[in-house]
A = this chain, B = another copy of it.
Amino acid sequence: MALRVTQKVIAKIAGVSVNTVSRALNDKPDVNRETKNKILELAKEFRYTPDLLAKGLKVGETKSIGVVLSDISNPFFSGVIQGIEGAAQKKDYSIIVCNSNEEYEREEKSIRLLIQKRVDGVLITLVGRKTLDISYLKDMNVPFVLIARRIGIPEVSYVVADDVLGGFLATEHLIKRGHKKILYITASPYVTTTQDRLAGYRKALSQYEIKFDENLVEFTNAKIEDAYKLMKSLLGRDKLGFTAVATFNDYLALGVIKALYEKGLKVPDDLALVGYDDIEFAALTVVPLTTICMPKYELGKKAVEILLEQLLEKSDVSKPQHIIMKPYLVVRESS
């Protein structure tokens, strides 16, 4: 057990009541200059530090926000976390981080735990599939905002990027480079990011009057290894005849590169490639990656700001905020 100095201790030494100590410490009015100074001094001497647990119980706020991320190890989310942590710390909030690992069960469990810990609000990148946990958050009246991935429920705040635009930009770039048969490797179909980026892909095709071919769309997990295996098997039976590849994220693009180089194929000469996210390493891979830059840090930062806004407005009828940030194309050497 920690050795904590409480207000009671200070009160006893100062010969005043606990209440007075509390008031002095919290800079409330109606407390004598001298007694206040005395208390402040004692507090410093004994290194008094408030028990935020007790305070939280009393006041009804913990100054903590819960963060449920779908994949901690992905550098995209590292960027998001960084944005969240920075913005939160600036406002004296701390963050409780949970990793759902793209599993709904863990997401739900995390949310329940966070509510039990009485976080003031929650930030989530949804796994998708089910949204029972979101309803639970609403029922419990815990403010929350979605990050990166939207959802079909009204009155829910979110901070996302325009993924249709991103998918469009990536595809259009390849089209302008002269490609017509473009393989699109995407991930879990349960989240809006994949859906929207795919929609952007189709939009670009249609705008440039290229017929959509569903055989050119491949689903896989969002890990390097998965794209690597997929690409390897695809290269085995290359009757599809694609000349370019667009991927759901940079991870997948890296897997593609790996598979290609093993076969002795070069990017962009043998196959043009564009990734998504613009993680820090995209510029430093075997062949620097052309990709779509996502405002990772800003996404996290903005989400915190909106959440805190909702917390401060006492009005329960705060209308939901929908922030949509713009991604942009970063041309490097892979296409």
Binding site for B on A (CB under 8 A): 1-4, 49-54, 56-57, 60, 62, 64, 72-73, 75, 78-79, 81-82, 85-86, 89, 92, 94-99, 106, 110, 112-118, 139-142, 224, 254, 257-258, 280-281, 284-288
Contacts and interface: CB of A to CB of B under 8 A. Distances in A.
B284 A116 contact: no
A44 B262 CA distance: 56
A3 B140 contact: yes
A118 B284 contact: no
A113 B55 CA distance: 13
Nearest to A99: B85
Contacts of A79: 73
Nearest to A63: B117
Contacts of A50: 116
Nearest to A94: B96
A280 B73 CA distance: 10
A72 B97 CA distance: 12
A160 B28 CA distance: 47
B118 A97 contact: no
Given A4-B140, A85-B72, A117 B64 contact: yes
A141 B54 contact: no
A274 B33 CA distance: 64
Nearest to A112: B49
Given A1-B60, A281-B284, A286-B288, 13 more contacts: A3-B140, A50-B116, A51-B57, A51-B118, A52-B118, A53-B53, A73-B82, A85-B97, A86-B99, A95-B96, A97-B97, A284-B285, A285-B285
B281 A141 contact: no
Nearest to A316: B1
Given A78-B78, A94-B98, A118 B286 contact: no
Nearest to A113: B94
A115 B257 CA distance: 47
Contacts of A139: 3
A64 B96 contact: yes
Given A85-B72, A141-B1, A286-B285, A53 B96 contact: no
A99 B116 contact: no
A115 B47 CA distance: 12
A281 to B, nearest CB: 4
A109 to B, nearest CB: 8
Contact of A99 (B2, B89, B142, B280): B89
Contact of A75 (B56, B78, B288): B78
B85 A118 contact: no
A236 to B, nearest CB: 22
Closest 7 interchain pairs by CB?
Answer: A281-B281, A52-B116, A97-B97, A53-B118, A2-B141, A85-B99, A52-B117
B99 A97 contact: no
A99 B85 CA distance: 7
B115 A49 contact: yes
Contacts of A257: 284
The listed residue with most B CB atoms (<10 A of its CB), out of A85, A96, A114, A281, is: A281
